[in-house]
């Protein structure tokens, strides 16, 4: 009897080892350049992706414009998740991506945010009052959310009067940090930075009406370097799946 039990155990162990070896052989690593506004969602998606596929994600977070410069100069990224659609389109025209890989993974929302409870109302009237010292924005030359902030102030006819109060971050993460640390009373940030599961996570906010700035369509592409990387293709497919979509929506993005 003991022999009958022992043989299947040995076979089972061997089969498990073989499956593990095959899984490891198939696992690849993908280097991803990710727009700073998408930091929290990407970390959550990457964790699920690694668990579900066995592939590894190494993500770098920063300003879209800065990433474009790095990619153009040969930075070793396989996939690029931008904060706009114009930069991926530019890379596509320059034949820097896998043909047909570009798609919109999220539509971003601009929000005026303060770390102080009750400081902002739902109309953003504090901007017209101007009774604050510092207004944080991301660099409009490299960060699409910074560009959207400038468009908003321009359409509100407040750009000239408030420009002297700007505290400028190199990307949207730094713009958020200026407000969260109290170095600016308020600032234009991405909704995803202050929103989770249907509510603002702290302070007070005015969600900027979409008609005050151009739509922030955030596109993803597989870069030429990632054309033969199975993990790169798997990640892009995963971003379109139900699990990733649920995470993206939970941070306030449109699709």
Same domain? For 158 and 199 the reply is: yes
The C-alpha angle with vertex 144 and arms to 139 and 146, in degrees rounded to 5, equals 40
22 is a domain residue: no
Same domain? For 150 and 199 the reply is: yes
Structural domain of residue 86, as residue ranges? 28-107+216-250
Same domain? For 242 and 205 the reply is: no
Same domain? For 64 and 132 the reply is: no
Mean pLDDT (whole number) for 47-52 = 98
| HSE toward the beta carbon, residue 92, CA cutoff 13 A | 15
pLDDT band at residue 36 using 50, 70 and 90 as cut-offs: very high
SS3 track for 103-134: EEEEEECEEEEECCCCCCCCCCCHHHHCCCCC
Structure letter (DSSP) for residue 78: S
| HSE toward the beta carbon, residue 72, CA cutoff 13 A | 13
Q: Which pLDDT score is estimated for 197? A: 86
Q: Which pLDDT score is estimated for 27? A: 73
Handedness of CA 23, 247, 36, 219 (dihedral sign): positive
Q: Specify the residue for token string 């700007």.
A: 166
The 10s digit of each residue's pLDDT in 63-100 is 999 999 999 999 999 999 999 999 999 999 999 999 99
Phi-psi map region of 107: left, alpha, beta (phi>0 left; psi -120 to 50 alpha): beta
Cβ neighbours of 242 (radius 10 Å): 7
183 is a domain residue: yes
Q: Which pLDDT score is estimated for 26? A: 55
Residue 188 has pLDDT above 80, yes or no: yes
Residue 169 pairs in a beta bridge with: 138
18 is a domain residue: no
Same domain? For 193 and 73 the reply is: no
Residue 1 has pLDDT above 80, yes or no: no
Instruction: Report in angstroms the alpha-carbon separations of 226 from 17, 139, 232.
Output: 30, 29, 6
Q: Which pLDDT score is estimated for 17? A: 41
Residue 10 has pLDDT above 80, yes or no: no
Same domain? For 54 and 122 the reply is: no
Cβ neighbours of 4 (radius 10 Å): 7
The overall average pLDDT reported for the chain is: 91
Instruction: Report in angstroms the alpha-carbon separations of 103 from 13, 28, 54, 217, 230.
Output: 43, 23, 24, 10, 18
Phi, psi torsion values for 106, nearest 5 degrees: -165, 155
1 is a domain residue: no
pLDDT band at residue 21 using 50, 70 and 90 as cut-offs: very low
52 is a domain residue: yes
Contact 188, 111 (CB under 8 A): yes
pTM of the model: 0.84
Q: Which pLDDT score is estimated for 59? A: 98
The C-alpha angle with vertex 54 and arms to 49 and 57, in degrees rounded to 5, equals 55
pLDDT band at residue 122 using 50, 70 and 90 as cut-offs: confident
Same domain? For 182 and 152 the reply is: yes
Same domain? For 227 and 202 the reply is: no
Same domain? For 141 and 199 the reply is: yes
d(CA 192, CA 199): 10
The 10s digit of each residue's pLDDT in 238-247 is 999 999 999 9
Count up the domains in the chain and report the number. Answer: 2
Residue 43, domain CATH = 3.40.190.10
Mean pLDDT (whole number) for 23-31 = 71
Same domain? For 190 and 236 the reply is: no
10 is a domain residue: no
């Amino acid at each position: 009897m003991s022999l009958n039990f022992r043989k299947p155990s040995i076979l089972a162990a061997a089969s498990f080892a073989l499956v593990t070896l095959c899984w490891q052989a198939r696992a690849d690593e993908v280097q991803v350049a990710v727009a700073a506004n998408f930091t929290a969602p990407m970390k959550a998606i990457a964790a699920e992706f690694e668990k579900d596929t066995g592939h590894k994600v190494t993500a770098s977070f920063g300003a879209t414009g800065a990433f474009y410069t790095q990619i153009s100069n040969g930075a070793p990224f396989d996939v690029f998740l931008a904060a706009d659609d114009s930069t991926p389109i530019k890379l596509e025209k320059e034949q820097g991506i896998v043909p047909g890989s570009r798609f919109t993974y999220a539509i971003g929302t601009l929000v005026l945010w303060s770390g102080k409870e009750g400081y902002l109302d739902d109309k953003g009237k504090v901007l017209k009052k101007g009774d604050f010292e510092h207004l944080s924005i991301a660099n409009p030359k490299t960060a699409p959310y910074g560009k959207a902030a400038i468009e908003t102030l321009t359409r509100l006819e407040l750009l000239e009067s408030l420009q002297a109060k700007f505290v400028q971050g190199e990307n949207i993460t730094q713009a958020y940090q200026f407000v969260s640390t109290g170095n600016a009373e308020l600032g234009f940030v991405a909704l995803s930075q202050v929103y989770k599961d249907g509510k603002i996570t702290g302070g007070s906010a005015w969600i900027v009406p979409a008609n005050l700035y151009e739509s922030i369509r955030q596109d993803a592409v597989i870069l030429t370097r990632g054309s033969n990387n199975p993990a790169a293709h798997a990640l892009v497919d995963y971003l379109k799946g139900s699990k990733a979509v649920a995470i993206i929506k939970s941070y306030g993005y449109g699709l």
